[in-house]
Amino acid sequence: MQRRAAAVLIGLFLLAAVGSYALVASAVAPQITIADPDVELTTGETATIGGQAYTLTAADAAGATLASTVADARYTDTWPADGEVTLGAQAYTVRVDGEVARLTAVVDEEAVLAADPDATGEVVTIGGERYVVRADNVLVPAAVYFDPQTVTVEAGSVVTYDSQARVVEQVDAAGVQLAWRADRTTETQLAPGEAVTLGAESYVVHIADGSRLQLVADRSVYAAQTAQIAAFERHVNGLWGVFIVSVLSVVFLAGFAFLPSRY
């Protein structure tokens, strides 16, 4: 009797396990489909949003990158007083005297001395002044020997480096303030499902087919489909739960049915 009842229950649980597994195996997960996106781009394409042009430079299932360029944007920089700046490949020290700044090239003294056969390589300080000792024991003032390049700038001066002319706007105790204008390109990283504001409009990001960027202004369209996907995943998880419990019940009942009887 015990085994007969166990066999009936095992059959029921096997039926539940097979049925739940069949449903999971045959279920087709819903996908987000945007029939009429407000913006749709593939890599290399450009769209104008809020008066600004955006180019899709990269897109995959993990996200997308939009690049935009602002023409004639203003840039600023500050060379700190008593600091060091690099112009092109040359480093300079910055010294401010009132409304004038002097830039002095940083010289690799060891390299200069090593390359001069008439120098001993020794630099001495006498009376607070540095001198280079020549091979004939003649002392040459270091400032004269190394002769570092100097540049003097003030408000209105134009300094060109990295192929860009920069205008000195102000020289004060803080340092040298510069400004220039050039195109500015910025990149915006987008992740699927996130909200992004471009111009004055807010969009939800969707990557279709792992390569097409779609922007949707109506969030309810996207939210409804994500809710369907979440419900589907809950149902699938529930079916997996039924399958696991059914299999464990079959194992337990099979073991229980074959326990030796005391009667």
Q: Is residue 53 part of a domain?
A: no
- Tally of structural domains, the chain: 2
Residues 165 and 115 in one domain: yes
User: Residues 6 or more apart from 72 whose CB is under 8 A from it?
Assistant: 181, 182, 183
Residues 174 and 234 in one domain: no
Residue 1: the pLDDT is: 46
Q: What pairs with residue 189 in β-bridges?
A: 65
Q: Is residue 63 part of a domain?
A: no
Residues 104 and 176 in one domain: yes
User: Residues 6 or more apart from 130 whose CB is under 8 A from it?
Assistant: 123, 124, 141, 142, 143
Q: Is residue 239 part of a domain?
A: yes
Residues 85 and 150 in one domain: yes
Both tokens assigned to 208? 């279709």
Indicate the pTM of the whole model.
0.58
pLDDT tens digits for range 157-204: 999 887 889 999 999 999 999 999 999 999 999 999 888 988 888 898
Residues of the chain under the 50 pLDDT cut: 1
Judged by DSSP in three states, 147 sits in coil
Whether 131 and 142 have beta carbons less than 8 Å apart is answered as: yes
User: 184, 211, 239: which is the final residue of a domain?
Assistant: 184
Q: Is residue 139 part of a domain?
A: yes
Whether 49 and 39 have beta carbons less than 8 Å apart is answered as: yes
Residues 231 and 171 in one domain: no
How many Å apart are CA 11 and CA 5, to the nearest integer?
Answer: 10
Both tokens assigned to 40? 């749709």
Find, among 81, 83, 46, 36, the residue nearest to 66 by Cα. 46
Residues 27 and 85 in one domain: no
Q: Is residue 133 part of a domain?
A: yes
Residue-number span of the structural domain to which 105 is assigned? 76-184
Both tokens assigned to 193? 């499902």
Q: Is residue 71 part of a domain?
A: no
Residues 152 and 250 in one domain: no
Q: Is residue 138 part of a domain?
A: yes
What does 192-208 look like in DSSP terms, one character per residue?
TT-EEEETTEEEEEEEE
Q: Is residue 162 part of a domain?
A: yes
